[in-house]
Amino acid sequence: MVRADLFGNASCVAAGDCVTKKVAACDDANACTLDSCGQDKCLYPNASDLTSCGTGKSCNSGTCTASAGP
């Protein structure tokens, strides 16, 4: 699977000075962030709250937490 940034780029070629990095190099291993490339650094904006990040878990302010039960 090829990981892409939030703009659909598989590499950072279209991201200015960050031309030698692959988006996978920006992976912070946090399911609750949207990894992408800035002009000279990796960016990690939070995924939307309630985004699923595992069985019975959802994102809350960039952190994967257990979802509230019924």
Residue 70 — very low, low, confident or very high, per pLDDT cuts 50/70/90?
Answer: low
Interval 4-54: pLDDT, tens = 666 666 655 554 545 556 667 788 899 999 988 776 778 889 999 999 999
Looking at the predicted structure, is the pLDDT value of residue 1 above 90?
no
Do residues 12 and 23 make contact, with C-beta atoms less than 8 angstroms apart?
yes
Q: Give the model's pLDDT for residue 8.
A: 65
Whole-angstrom distance, CA of residue 9 vs CA of residue 22: 9
Give the structural domain span for 55: 1-70
Q: Give the model's pLDDT for residue 67.
A: 79
Q: How many domains does the chain have?
A: 1
pTM of the model: 0.64
